[in-house]
Structure 1
Amino acid sequence: MSRDHRGKMAASCCGVKKQKLNNSLPSICCNGSAVYPNYHKNGYTVASPEMCYFCFDVLHSHLYSYEQPKAPLFTNDSYPLFVTWKIGRERRLRGCIGTFSATSLHGGLREYAVTSAMKDSRFQPIQKEDFPKLHCSVSILTHFEDAADYLDWEVGVHGIRIEFINEKGNKKTATYLPEVAVEQGWDRIQTIDSLLHKGGFKGPVNAEIRKSIRLIRYRSEKMTVSYSDYVAQKQNGHA
């Protein structure tokens, strides 16, 4: 488990590297209270390209020790969010960290743009030479619901967060954003089994273990831009 500098629990979206389902993956922390309010306010779309451009600005300033960018013009409402960095034409994962706590968008994106780039324990920190090869995604999490059981969710539609008891009797949590199962080509059971291993469950997974899971499903508004998109936006004078 990991904490950010304010003591909040940080979570990794994880799982977009190809995995073998019988491997035990590094455990991650996913924050969330016992109550999952609907953060999607008044039905409007929240995620926007400007949020990704802002993350590029923040990371660029961090890498070159420049003054941090001024506050952006998009809404500063509070939402759970994730920032994901991928690199190269094949878009290999280079970092993905966020929070299940409702966080102001300006501060949250400013924080997790850097945290996901520099402090994802699965990867080396992003370097200056990596910057022109990056793609940035911002995921705004909405519509949290308790599922009836471990199968009560839809691949490609829902992200899932599971709570379970491991072999030592300790409560563990893990999450996958909605795109992970699709990218891996998994069905629901394969996704659940992978997520259990990702969360640190080391024993064999069977129907009884799956049925003991508490599953919270949610949706995600995701926006992705490339470095070339970012440069074009700068050249058009919309910085």
Structure 2
Amino acid sequence: MSSVSINSGMPWAENWERYKTQLLASRHSRPSAARIKRSRRVGSLNCRKARSWRLSQLPGRYPKPTLAQVQGWCVGGGSDMALTADLIIAAEDAQIGTPYSRIWGSYLTGMWVYRLGLAKAKEYALTGKPLSGSEAAATELINRAVPAAELEEVSMQQARQLAEIPVSQLAAMKLVVNQAYENMGLRNTQVLGSVLDGMMRNTPEAHAFIDKAISEGVPAAVADRDAPFQDYSQRPRKQ
């Protein structure tokens, strides 16, 4: 098993003959941690800091198809990263959301907007509430949700199927779809999101949020953020 950091780019992604498909998969409960198995024609990516990448490094910008395999919690920058993949398969009980919509952040990649219709895009942008994998598939935020026990097998099966298609064909089909969304302003939205993300970390309310996290601990700060919605840190625990 081997992996590469998103911060170093994906050097194997440009190796047209050896790798045809990229698989970004979570192996841990924390949303920004990921490790990937590497096979002959399925490349690997290890994402440790979801907010440390540049727009030019987004998986969706590489010429080859990227699949995201989501399990556990995929929130904040982790969701921004996962949603840039071309195909997304999640465990039915996965949780995908953007708690930063309430304080200390903004959409970075814009994919929550472009993957959803206007009504749902506004709802999740304004509330930041999470969706389960099943709910995300039903709203077409992602492609498919499967039982957790089947997630790895289904993801690898999809990756291997794509690896049987000529790489030039994969690149051409991905490019024509990407170009349509570029024409709808995707890149400008991503730049704006990055600017607003920085601004939202420096409002008076954001400073108060951090001050409370420092003085009383992070659990106290996020408890105030999540209490009105009873989710994330305030989600009722299963008995």
State the TM-score, normalized to the length of structure 2: 0.25
More helix by share: 2
Which structure is richer in relative contact order (CA contacts within 8 A, separation 6 or more)? 1
More strand by share: 1
